[in-house]
Structure 1
Amino acid sequence: MARDIEPLRQFFRDCRDAATLLDLRTAAANYFETTHVVMASYIHYPPVGARDFDGQIRVGEFGYPESWRETYLAEELHLCDPLARRAVNFTRPYFWTEAPQLPNLTLEEREYLQRVAAQNMGEGIGIPLFGPAGRNGYAALGFGQAERPPADEVLELQAASQMGHLAYCRLLLKDLPNGTVLSAREREILRWVARGRTNSQIAEVLQLSRNTVETYIRRCFEKLDVNDRVSAALRGIALGMVD
C-alpha cells in the first residue's frame, strides 16, 4: 500500500511558514512521528569563507541512547563518522550498514563504525543536504530496528530532510530588526558557546556565576530570535555579530 504523503505535504507547508527555528523543530518532530524514525541528528556545514565556517557544526539530535549521546558529544565523534565526513560527496542516502563498504576508510573511521555497531541501534540512513552558496548539511535518521523502511519512505525522508535544511538556512540568515546589537559580554559568551562550552564552563572561564551566564544567554535568545544555544551562536556568527 502506498504511503499517505499528506504528512510530507504538511511538513513542506510548515517549513515554508516557519518564522522561528523553534517552529521548524516542532514541525520536524511532528513529521517524524508519522515515519519509522526514532532518532535523528543534524549537522550543518557552513561554506568555506563564511563568517561561521568551522568545519562541521552539530546543531541537534534526539532519540539516541543517553550514554552514546554523551560519549558522541564529549569525544566529538561526528568528526570521525565516515557518513558525516563524506556526506556532501554522496548523491543518495546511505544506509548505516553500508558504511563499512565505503572506499578508503581510515583506521579512525573503522573504529568509529565498530563502536556504533556495538550500540545495537539498528538500521538508519545518512542523508546529504545541499543549501545556498555551498551551505550544506547532513542528517542521520535511525529506525531503532534492523529492518529497513520501504523504499518510498526513504525517498520521502530525503525530500523532507532537504526541505528542512533549506528552511534552516533561511531562518539562520534572515535579517534582524534594525538596531539589534549584542553587548560585548553577550558576544564573548556566544563565542564560548560556539566552541562547545557548557554554561558552567563559561562561568568558570569568565569568573561569573552560572546564573549570570544563563541570563546573558537568554538575552541573546531574545535578540537573535532563537530558542537554543547552538542556534544563537550560529546565527550571531553568520550575521557577523560575533567574531
Structure 2
Amino acid sequence: MVSCEEFIVRLREAPDTDALWKTTLDFFHERGATRVSYRHFLSDYESELEPTIYHDGFPERLATRFIEEELFRNNPIALIALATTEPFYWSDTERMAELSEEALRILDILREEVSGDGVILQLFGPDCRNGTVNLGFPEGAPRLSPDALRELQLVAQAAHLCYCNMVSTTPQTPLGMTARELEVLEWIARGKSNSVIADILGISVHTVDTHVRRIFRKLGVNDRTTAAVKGLGAGLVQAVA
C-alpha cells in the first residue's frame, strides 16, 4: 500500500491532470473505496454551464443525469460540504441541514443508483477554487475513524492543489482549449472513436468522454463532424490528407 509520503512524491511527478487523477484513484482504491469522484469549483461555480467532475465507479447513467438534468446545482451533499470543513458520511446529510424537496429528491436518486455509503471530503484552494472528493464504500463497510478521514482529506487536499496548479498554468487557446482537449479534437478530426482515442492517449474512455463534452461546449457544436470542421476552420487542427 502506498504511504502518504510516497503519494505526495507521485503527485509531484504527475505530468498532467490525467496522470494526477490515476495516481489519486490508485491511492483511494487501496484504501477500500470502490467509487471516487472529484469536483473542482470555480469561485463563481453557480454560473458554470458544466461542472468539472472526474468520476470512477459510479453508474454512467447517474453521471449523465447529473449533467443533463443539472442535478449538480442542488446536490445537498456538495452544498453542505461547501459550507463546512469536516468530512461527513452521505447518510448523515439529512440530519445536517433542513433540505428542500428538490434536495431530498436528489438524495433519493443517489440511494437508488448507488449502493453502500460514502464520505465527502472538503478541499480548499487559491482564489476560492475549492473542491470535493466523494469516496464510496461497499455495503457493510465499517465507518472510518475521524483520524482516518482526516488522513484521506489531507491526501485529497494535496491532489487538489496540484490540480489547481496544473490547470492555472496550462496554456490556453483563444477558444479556451487545453492541450489535452486539442489532442482529442485532433483525433476526432481523424475519425477516431472515443475508445480508440482513449487507447492512443493512454487514458480512460470516461476521461475522453469528458474532454469531448467540453470541446463541444467550447466550440458551440453538438456533433463530431461539426467539431472537426469548426476546429479546422479555427486553425486548431491540421487538415488530414
Under a length normalisation based on structure 2, what TM-score does the superposition of the two structures give? 0.70
Whichever residue aligns with residue 155 of structure 1, its letter is R
Change (3 A) 1:203 1:54: closer
Structure 1 CA distance, aligned partners of 2:127 and 2:34? 31
Alignment partner, residue 27 of structure 1: 23
Report the count of equivalent residues.
Answer: 205
Pick from 87, 101, 106: which aligns with 1:107?
101
Quote the Cα distance in structure 2 between the aligned partners of 1:195 and 1:75: 20
Answer 1 or 2: higher relative contact order, Cα 8 Å, separation at least 6: 1
Q: Does 1:202 align with 2:198?
A: no
Q: 1:186 deviation in Å? A: 6.4
The aligned residue for residue 166 of structure 1 is 161
CA contact (8 A) 1:186 1:216 kept: no
Instruction: Supply the distance in 1 between the matched residues of 2:66 and 2:170 (Cα, whole angstroms).
Output: 33
Gaps of 5+ in 1: 221-243
Question: 1:155, 1:113 → 2: CA distance?
Answer: 25
Is 1:47 equivalent to 2:43 in the alignment?
Answer: yes
1:130 aligned residue: 124
Contact 1:42–1:140 (8 Å) recurs in 2: yes
Shift of 1:165: 0.6
> 1:23 offset after TM fit, Å?
2.2
> What is the Cα-based RMSD across aligned positions, in Å?
3.7
- Identify the residue that residue 200 of structure 2 maps to in structure 1: none
CA 1:102–1:186: 2 relative to 1, 3 Å: closer
Flag the 1:106–1:184 CA change in 2: closer, same or farther, 3 A: closer
Tell me the SS of whatever aligns to 2:221.
helix
Distance 1:186 1:142, change over 3 A: closer
Structure 2: stretches of 5+ with no match in the other structure: 186-211
Q: Distance in 1 between matches of 2:68 and 2:107?
A: 17
CA positional deviation for 1:173: 0.7
Q: Is the 8 A contact 1:44 1:56 kept in 2?
A: no
TM-score (normalised: structure 1): 0.69
SS of residue matched to 1:182:
coil
State whether residues 43 and 129 of structure 2, in contact with CA within 8 Å, keep that contact through their aligned partners in structure 1. yes
Shift of 1:136: 0.7
Is contact 1:56–1:79 with CA below 8 Å preserved after alignment? Answer: no
Structure 1 counterpart of 2:197:
none
1:12 Cα deviation after fit: 1.2
1:143 aligns with 2:146: no
Q: Percent identity of the aligned residues?
A: 23
Q: Secondary structure at the match of 1:127?
A: strand
Q: Is the partner of 1:202 in helix, strand or coil?
A: coil
**C-alpha spacing 1:216/1:81, structure 2 compared with 1 (3 Å):** farther
Query: Is the partner of 2:30 in helix, strand or coil?
Result: coil
Cα deviation for residue 110 of structure 1 reads 1.0
> Could you tell me whether the CA contact under 8 Å between 1:36 and 1:149 is conserved in 2?
no
- Which residue in the other structure is 2:56 paired with? 62
